[in-house]
Every structure is written in structure tokens, then in C-alpha cells.
Amino acid sequence: MTYEAVIGLEVHVQVKTRSKMFSRVAAGYGHPENTLTDPVVLALPGTLPVMNKEALDKVIKAGLLLGCEIAPECKWDRKNYFYPDSPKNYQISQYDQPLCRGGFVEIELPGPARNVMGEHKRISLTRIHLEEDVGKLNHAEAVSLVDFNRAGTPLMEIVSEPVIRSADEAFAYLTALKTIMVYGGISDCDMEKGQLRCDANISIRPAGATALGTKVELKNLNSFSFVRDGIALEVSRQVAVVQAGGTVVQETRDYDGQTGESKSLRTKEMAHDYRYFPDPDLMPVQVGEEWKSAVRAGCPELPFDKQRRFQKEYGVPYTITSVLVPDRELSDFFEEAARLCGRPQAAGNWIANDLLRELGAATLGLAQSKVRPAHVAGLVRLVEEGAILSNAAKEVFVDMFRTGDPPGAVVARIGLGAQTDLGELERWCREAVAANPKSAADFKAGKESAINAFKGPVMRAAKGRADPKRVDETLRRLLAQ
Amino acid sequence: MPKPDDLRLDHVANLARLALTAEEKERFAAQLGDVLAYVQQLNEVDVSGIEPTAHAFPVVNVWAEDVPEPGLSVEDALGNAPEKRDNMFVVPKVVE
Amino acid sequence: MSEELCYSTISELSGRLGRGELSAVELMRAVIARTKEVDGRVGAFNSFDEGDALAQALASDGRRAKARAAGADGRGRHLEGIPVGIKDVISVAGQPLTASSRMLENFVSPYDATVIRKLKEAGATCWGRLNLDEFAMGSSTENSAFRATSNPWDLERVPGGSSGGSAAAVAAGEAVAALGSDTGGSIRQPAALCNVVGLKPTYGRVSRYGLIAFASSLDQIGAFARSVEDAALVLGAIAGHDCRDSTSVRKDVPDYVGGMAALAQSGRRWRLGIPKEYFGGGLDPEVGAAVQAAIDEYRGLGCEVREVSLPHTKYAIGTYYIIATAECSSNLARYDGVRYGSRSKDATDALDIYFKSRAEGFGPEVKRRIILGTYVLSSGYYDAYYLRAQKVRTLIRRDFLEAFTQVDAILTPTSPTPAFRKGEKSADPLAMYLSDIYTIGVNLAGLPGISIPCGFTRGGLPIGLQAIGQPFKETELLAIAGAYEGRTDWRTRRPRL
Ligand SMILES: [Mg+2]
Ligand SMILES: [Zn+2]
């Protein structure tokens, strides 16, 4: 029998705000322990929460980007449980009235080859709600040490429907989700900084069956590849259990990405009873059309929509768009360069190949690049006009990258202008024809390709600075005589 | 409404993270049994179609702009800590 | 001299301070002396910081001198230099904040509650930490982990609660006015039992930021004072929207004292409602008679008195004990011995810290309420208890709003009985809960309420009259209370200590 996996992902994404979700002390990462607290964050006696408008704006933005229905009204609930990283011993969250419902994430599965687009699919979402993050436990020898810097950071929980069918799909889902969040300025989704955290609910069932199997919750999937590897491992583990005649036990398992193994977490003695109830310290949120429109006005084009547009409008191939589009700044850079030179394909090639290669070699980000869209556009135009030749253009690009000089200035400085002494060019062509009478005869006899035999010697003589078009014209003129 | 003898004191004390002595359990069971019996009278009230009141004067969209303000110094943050080390709060080792 | 000062009203004192006949330091010294003289018997204070109080008073004198030099007459700064006692459940930066609980026995708060910031801005001296029922849970102040406060009128009896320390301090001349908090009657009931004025404002009128939460949807900070006008002065100082409390209301703060005076001048004939449900069984006959006499006094003032009905009154206590305990079970989860508070010495693992610290840190009434509240929220019981109680709350609130279509205010006894003996009800929580019958509905409906002295029993125990007002109409409520107060001298009587 073959089995199919049924996977639902719960993704927690830290929302990028300057202050915390329910108080105004700064939010941040990498600060000395317990320097980002205030009486509210530490849940000192007498403190009260006040929600952060920016966090609401950003979750609404996420909801709009993901096609969710934004709740006209939602409220805050307390989720009661004791844990040393939870200052109030309840988390302010949204229980039965999340800010967003429904929606989907468009994903791209791996294609048959790297340069071929894979299948696209929509992964439906159940809900997105807003809550607050907890502090961080650091485990020492005999004790645990609590740092509350992270406590109170706005946290968005994105819950997918159980419609993910494989580890690859889960990976593609997270990749697409991250791209959208970064595009929207909603979160940086840096998993190493804990800005994106993922739990997976996994079950298997005979292929084609509709009933759901017993699900296992997989935790601590703290990198994108661990998500993929952990899920793949869990699916094969469950299949092995069932094929050996066993049954899958409902449990929480911990995946260790370093060893590539998972183990069952000690089952908790007490069943969860979170005693959710509406937080009496907070008022409900009403999202009217006006608010939604204001947020919508700041929504970027979705990455896959942009990719389709680049391919259709600009005729840029998948191999280039798949490099440009996932990075919003890079794709903006491209569009600007394309607009300036009117040659999107050429601009795309320079950016996706030469610019990224140089940035990578110099370990720089796009923002630090001295080459700006105008440089790229200028270079494309110089080549287009035949002012420089493509090999020379490569050299000009490297120089621009280093110096930040405009392409024209670089050409003037290092003398890479195209060969323009027509007398000299004609002499090289005459010599080439004279040296190869057989090919000359072949060409005159109608063998078109024979002309190529003269081009190599001419280019060699010109040290690569001859304009191929002009060489071609000159050779044809001479051979016609 | 459930019967007042359903208090499930052990379960509830567990949820509330309260260690109760046998004597407390006995006393609380009796006292809270009385209170629960008393509140059964709420069953007499017809609440069909009645909206719950969470706030006496509800308003919506009470928020603050996202502008950071200074917080507590580490010294003040840890000023009341029962046990601290390396600017953090110490608890016995938490097994996850 | 000292006792005279200590029993003066804010208006009297601010006049003398303003004319330079008295300094804030002299006044503070008198209050400190009085406190040292009587508090061994009354037990109103958990602690006080004499040096800090005198420093505040000295600063007040400095401000006054500076203002005078600049030609300002200081008018409108009625609280400048006035010692205001603070219930030990309201946070004052650098001072202990215990909630009368072992749990917070050694806690020092690093921040000011909004009401404290406002009092300080008004120039008042924040004075002492006043005793209460642990975490404001109780009606007698016997639930304090430290000591039971005595009623200054009879030291064998309770001062009421939970703000028993605040009421007793004002009654005993240990503070000119005091702040308390009222979740189900915790200002009005002790005010009635101690012969002082106790005002609970409309929910949302005063910021709760810095008030240790008992039941968030019901808690409200208010004032104890020697006169209705003094209560109005304190309310004027502490009221107003606060961006740190999402439940505080964006409404301008009127000039309560000026508004009261204008209403008194206008000779408006108030329409007053007497809820028939409040005068049934359980009401002490002497209390009933005193309240009837007060109602007659209003008739004599030309007010229109009519019977109104609050049909869901009998459900108020049940509703309250579900909502209040549910909220408190969650509000008190933060007291766990991790970040602050007392940690059990016996705790060996992380889970132990919770179970043992909370078992050792909380007293029996707090434990009972946490248990009850946890139970009513637990899986499978939420709808039956909490949700149903929230719906009944809607009906209780509607009753009041319905009555207010006919009347301007509602008059009731504040407490069904005068001060009871210590220990009399402490073994029977339900009996204790039932003594809040007249005050609890006001919190459930979020309304303003005031208790004013309206007589004494033959045994010399104070009796209070409660007036319940319309939402955010504190000026009218104060004017109505003031009209009666002006016709009597109950408030000027002092206990023999
Ligand atoms: Mg979840
Ligand atoms: Zn969550």
C-alpha cells in the first residue's frame, strides 16, 4: 500500500515593530540580557497592556497579501498556562476571533531542473492571529536563566490547513511565506534570530483515503532545511510504523537537525486546559474599510505575480526572474535599470549574473553596491550602440563595481572603446581573406557559413576590440568584389 | 450548570499551580461547595438572546503608536528577583 | 492642636496652607504624630516612610514659596501639601507594594501608578501603605497577611474591607484623605462602617495603571475623605484618560467642586429612586431606619423620591463571584516567585516553585478565589459559569440603566449591617460575600457610587447611605450626596481613641 502525508504547519512570525506588542519599551534582538523590559513586560503588579497599532497594521497587511478575510471585529483572549518564560503566566492571544481567516500561500514546487519552473500550488490557510512572544530560557548546569528581552514582542501565528503533502511542499510553503513577509516589510523572518518558528502536524493515510490519521506534532524545526528533513523523516517513520503492523501514537516529537533524529518529548502529566477567556484589560479591535484601504495602499505586488509580469511584459526568462524576484530590492533595482535603458532582458542578465557575482565575491549587500540601476542602464546602452563590445563591457562592469564611476567614464579612462579605425579594420579583413582563398571561394559559391572562417583572425588581430557587425559588413563588401 | 460537587479540586488546584494541604482541600471543598450551590441560582435566569458584557463601557481600537519609550534599567528589572545570575532570573533547571 | 489639624478637611487645610498659617511640614508632622499615637490600636498602616513623607511635604512648601514669590496665588491647587494615604495595592515608586500578602512582603515597586503620578503633580504628599484584605479580597480587612485593622469606632470590630486601612486611617485622623480600590464595594462599605465618605467613580474614569488587579473589569480606584467636597477634590486630581490603561475613558474631567456648587445653587430638584429589592430581609433594622431617615431628609429638600425596581439584584452576588474569581485566577497567576515575590525555600524544581511558593505566599481567601475562578474557566465549565454570568451581568446593568430613565440617582443602604465583630464571619465565606449585596451591582454595571455617613446605631456604630449615579455623572452624584451632607453633622463626629 502507498501512503500519503497530511501536513499542517503552524508558523510563528515576529512582527517587525519598534516597540513591543502591549507596551512601549523597544523590541529588538541581540541586546544584553533583560535590557528590553519595562514593568508591563515583566508583569510587575499593577501593569496593564496597551496594543501596538503598527503590529495590527502589519498583520492586516499580511492578511491582505495572503488573501485572507480580515475580521471586521476581533478581540483579545488570555491563554492561561504557567511557564518560567511567560511573565504573566498567561499569553495574550486571539482564540475564537482571529484577525484574519482563510487565504492562501502560492508555492512553487521544485522543477525538473534548476532552470525550469516547477508546478505552482495554493496552500490554504486556516487563520492568522496576533499574540505576544515569551522570554528566553538559557539552560545552565543545574539551573535555567531567564531573559525577558524577547517577551512581549508581537508575534503572528499563521496556521495552514492540513493540505501540505510532502516535505518539499512544506519547504516551498515556508520559502514563499518568508518571501511575502519580507516583501511586505512585515518581518525579516530570520530563523536564526527566532523571527520565524515552525511546528508541523504530521499524519499519514493510505493514498486516496479521506479520513485523517493520528497526528504527531513535530517541534524545534529551527531552519528551513530542518523543516524539510524533519518532516521527511517523520513521514517515513510513520510509514515504517504502520507497515510493521504498528499504530502511530499521538505525541509531540523533537527533531534534532544536527543528528537528523527525532525523539518523543516526555508526555505532559497534565492535559492542556488553557482556560481561554476575553482579556478584560483590552478593548476589541474593529477593522473598517477605510483602515483596510489604507493598509492595502502600502501592499507590494506579490512575488509570483511580479515574476509572471517580468516574464510576460519584459520577456525576461525564468532563469533570470527566479533570481531577481525573491529579493524585492533586487527586483526593484532591475525594474529601474530596465526602465532607464529600455532593454529589460539585457539589464536582467547584467544584474542576475554580473552584479550578483560581484556582490557575492565582495560579500556585500545590494544596498552597499556602488553600481546603481543607472550604471547598468548606461552600460546596456553603450553595448547597444556598439560603443563597446560585450567582452569589454564585462571589464567595464567590474571596474564600475569597484569604483562606482559611470560606464562612459570607465570606458574613457581605460580605453576600451570599440575599434573605430576603419582603415585598419579593412586591412585586417583583406589579410584574412587573402590568407584563406578556399573559404573565400566557398562563400562566393554560396556557402554562407564560410564567412565565419575569416572572423576569428580579424578579431585576433583587433585584440577583441572590433565590432562584430562592422567586421561582418566589411568582409561581405570585400568578398563581393 | 454542573452540580456543585463537581469541583474536581485536585485537577483545578493543579491548573492553578497551588499545593493544597489535605485540611485545606477538605475545608475549601465544603466552603466552595456552598458558594457553587449558591451560584446555581443563575440557572433561573433566562439569558437567551442576551449578549455578554465584558466591559461596562466598551470602546474599540484603543492603541498606542509604535514609538519606543525608555524601559527599566537591568538593576530595576532584577531588583525584586528572588534569585539572579548574569543579569538573568534564576529558576531550577527547566526540563523541556 | 495636632488632632484638630488631623481632622480638618482638605478645603480647610488648603486655605490655611495658602494663607501661610500652616506649612505642609507642620501638617505632615501632625499626621505622623497622630499615626504614631493611635495606629498601634487601629492598625491601619502596613508601613509608612516618615522621612519620605516629610521630604515630600518640604518640597511642597518649597513649591508654594516659589509660586508665591512669582505672584501666583496657588488657587486651584487644593491638594498641595495634603497627606493622602495610599492603599497598599497602588504602586508608588521606591515604596513597598505588598497587597497585604506574604507573596509581596518584600516587594518594592520601581514605578508610580498613574493616580500616584497625578497626586504628586497636584502637590499631594503620598502617605504610607494602608492595610487591606489580601489582594483586595474580602470585606473586613481580616484577610490581611500582616494584621487585622480595627474599626476606630470600636476596636473589637472590623473596619470593613477590602480598603479597611484607608477607611480607618481617615476615620482615625491618620490621613486627611486616602485612596482605595473598589471591586465589589471595597471603598463604599468600609467608608460606611467607619463614618467617612467613600467614592467609587464610574469604571474607566480613573486609570487602573499601577493598581494591583483583582478583577480587571470591576476594579476602580477612588477616594476616602472627610467630606463630599474633599472626595470631589481628590477625584478631580486622579481622574482622566490614561494612555497606559486601555479601559480608561477619553472624557474630559469636569470641575467637580465647581460643578457641585453650581448644581447646589441651581436648586435643582433631584429625582431619587429607592430600589424595593434593597430593603428586604437581611437588612439590619437600625441601618434601615437611618437610611429611611436620610431619604426623608431628601424629601424635605424637595427631592422627588420614587420606588424603582432592579429585578436582577438577587443574582448580583452569584454573578460577581463568578466573574471576579475568574478574572482574579488569571490576574494572580503572575505571582509565582520567578521574577519577584516570595519563593519557597523548599522548591526543588521549576514546577515546585509554582506550587509551593503560591501555597506559602497566598492566604486562604485568595486560594479559595483562585480555585473557584480556575474552576469556572476550566474546560467544559466556561459556558455554564463565566459566559452565563457575563450575560446576567448585562441584565443587571440594564436594570440600572432602565431605572435611570426615571431617576437621577438611586439611594440604598451601603451595607446591610454596621461593623461586625472580628472573626464573626471569617469562617463562613458565603456569609461574608452576602454582606456586599448592596454594593456589588454598582461594579457589575460600572456605575459611580458614593457612601456618606447617615447616622449611628444605638451602640455608636456608623451607618452609611449609598447613592448610585449615572455613568460619568459624578458631578451630579456628588451634588446629591452634598445636599444631604449639608443638612447633617454625622461626618464631623470623631471616634474616641
Ligand atoms: Mg498554536
Ligand atoms: Zn502561538
Other CB atoms within a 10 A radius of the CB of residue C76 amount to 13
A467 CA distance to ligand 2 middle (Å): 63
Backbone angles phi, psi at C40, to 5 degrees: -60, -30
Asked which of A241-250, A420-429, C401-410 is least confident by mean pLDDT, the reply is A420-429
Question: Which of A82, A146, A273 lies nearest to residue C378, judging by beta carbons?
Answer: A273
The three cell numbers locating residue C147: 494584621
- Give first-to-last CA distance, chain B, whole Å: 37
What does the buried/exposed string (b/e) look like for C337-351 if buried means 16 or more CB atoms within 10 Å of the residue's CB? bbbbbbbbeebeebb
Q: For residue C256, tell me if it sits in a domain.
A: yes
By Cβ distance, the residue of C319, C374, C471 closest to B16 is: C374
Give the chain A residue whose CA is nearest to the CA of C338. A84
User: Long-range CB contacts (< 8 A, 24+ apart) of C395-398?
Assistant: C395/B45, C395/B47, C395/B50, C395/C312, C395/C315, C396/C310, C396/C312, C396/C313, C396/C315, C396/C316, C396/C319, C396/C441, C396/C444, C396/C445, C397/B53, C397/B56, C397/C444, C397/C445, C397/C446
Nearest ligand to the C-alpha atom of residue A132:
2
Give me the pLDDT at residue A417, please. 65
C-alpha cell at C381: 465549565
User: How far does Cα B21 stand from its chain's mean position?
Assistant: 20
Number of domains in chain C: 1
Task: Kindly indicate the confidence band of residue A115, based on its pLDDT and cuts at 50, 70 and 90.
Answer: confident
State the catalytic residues of C: 87, 162, 186
Instruction: Dig out the grid coordinates for C477 from the structure.
Output: 452624584
Residue A131 Cα to ligand 2 middle (Å)? 7
Give A146's contacts (C-beta < 8 A, 6+ positions apart). A84, A85, A135, A136, A137, A138, B88, B89, B90, B91, C338, C339
Contact C365, C143 (CB under 8 A): yes
Nearest ligand (C-alpha, residue A12): 2
DSSP secondary-structure letter at A144? E
Per-residue pLDDT tens digits for A294-313:
999 999 999 999 999 999 99
CATH number at residue C122: 3.90.1300.10
With CB atoms and an 8 Å threshold, state whether B18 touches C355. yes
Distant-in-sequence, close-in-space partners of A227: CB < 8 Å, separation ≥ 6? A167, A170, A171, A174, A198, A200, A221
Mean pLDDT of A5-10: 97
Grid cell, residue A287, equals: 477593522
Cell triple for residue C481? 450626596
Cβ neighbours of residue A132 under 8 Å, at least 6 residues apart?
A20, A21, A22, A91, A92, A93, A151, A152, A153, A154, A155
Beta-carbon separation of A283 and B61 below 8 A: yes
The alpha carbon of A11 and the centre of ligand 1 are apart by a number of angstroms equal to: 9
Mutate: best of A22, A283, A292, partner B, most B CBs <10 A? A283
CATH match of B9-43 with 1.10.3470: no
User: Is residue C267 in a domain?
Assistant: yes
Mean pLDDT by 10 residues, chain C (497 residues): 88 95 98 98 98 98 94 87 98 98 98 98 98 98 98 98 98 98 98 98 98 98 98 98 97 97 94 94 94 98 97 96 98 98 93 96 97 95 96 98 98 97 88 89 98 98 98 98 97 95
Cβ-nearest to A38 among B54, B71, B88: B71
**B92 in contact with chain A, both atoms CB, cutoff 8 A:** yes
pLDDT at A471: 84
**What is the band of A266 on the pLDDT scale with cuts at 50, 70, 90?**
low
- Label residues C146-164 b or e (16+ Cβ within 10 Å = b): bebbbbbbbeebbbbbbbb
Residue C192 in grid coordinates: 460606611
CA distance C386 to B40: 12
Note whether A410 and A433 are same-domain residues: no
Q: Specify whether the CB–CB gap between A410 and A403 falls below 8 A.
A: yes
Report the pLDDT value the prediction gives residue B56, as an integer from 0 to 100.
Answer: 87
Of B38, B50, B53, the CB nearest to C318: B38
Asked whether A310 and A324 are in contact (CB, 8 A), the reply is yes
- Prior bond to C378 cis, omega within 30? no
Complex ipTM > 0.95: yes
Statement: residue B3 has pLDDT above 60 = no
Residue of A23, A24, A48 to mutate for C, most C C-beta atoms under 10 A:
A48
Is the CB of B1 less than 8 angstroms away from the CB of C388?
yes
Please tell me the predicted confidence (pLDDT) of residue A222.
Answer: 86
Burial of residue C469 (CB within 10 Å: 0-12, 13-18, 19+) is buried
Per-residue pLDDT tens over the stretch A374-395: 999 999 998 888 778 777 899 8
pTM: 0.93
In a domain, C64, yes or no: yes
Domain that holds residue C199: 2-272+406-492
Asked whether residue A119 carries a pLDDT value surpassing 80, the answer given is yes
Is there a domain that residue A121 lies in?
Answer: yes
- How long a stretch of residues is chain C? 497
Q: Which three cell numbers stand for residue A98?
A: 482571529
Provide the sign of the torsion angle of the four alpha carbons B42, B45, B46, B52, taken in this order.
negative
Do both A236 and A115 map to the same domain?
Answer: yes
C47-55, long-range: CB < 8 A, 24+ apart: C47/C88, C47/C96, C47/C128, C47/C129, C48/C127, C48/C128, C48/C129, C49/C95, C49/C128, C52/C94, C52/C95, C53/C28, C53/C83, C53/C125, C53/C126, C53/C127, C53/C128, C54/C25, C54/C28, C54/C29
β-pair partners for C179:
C86, C223
Rounded to an integer, what distance in angstroms lies between the CA atom of residue C187 and that of residue C452? 11
Domain membership flag for residue C109: yes
What is the domain range of residue A262? 3-293
- What is the model's pLDDT at position A389? 78
Within a domain: residue C327?
no
Residues A277 and A320 in one domain: no
Residue type at position C221: I
Number of CB atoms found within 10 A of residue A263's CB: 10
Please compute Rg for chain A using Cα positions.
30
Query: CB distance C339–A43 less than 8 Å?
Result: yes
Residue C392 domain-assigned (yes or no): no
> Does some domain include residue C236?
yes
| Rounded percentage of chain A residues whose pLDDT exceeds 90 | 80
Give the whole-angstrom CA distance, residue A170 versus residue A185. 22
Query: Is C179 within the bounds of a domain?
Result: yes
- pLDDT reading at A269 higher than 50: no
Inter-residue contact B68 to A24 (CB < 8 Å): yes
Going by the DSSP 8-state scheme, the letter that residue A433 receives in this structure is H
Q: Would you say A326 and A179 are in contact if contact means Cβ atoms under 8 Å apart?
A: yes
The domain total for chain A is 3
Residue of chain A whose alpha carbon sits nearest to that of B13: A270
* Domain-terminating residue out of A373, A396, A414: A414
Shared-domain flag, residues A26 and A157:
yes
- Which residues of chain C lie closer than 8 angstroms to B61, CB-CB? none
Hey, what amino acid is at C363?
A: G
Structure-block grid coordinates of residue A399? 571596474
Q: Mutate which of A14, A31, A34 to test chain B, going by most B C-beta atoms within 10 A?
A: A34
Residue A304 located in a structural domain: no
Q: At what angle do helices A407-414 and A390-403 cross, to 10 degrees?
A: 110
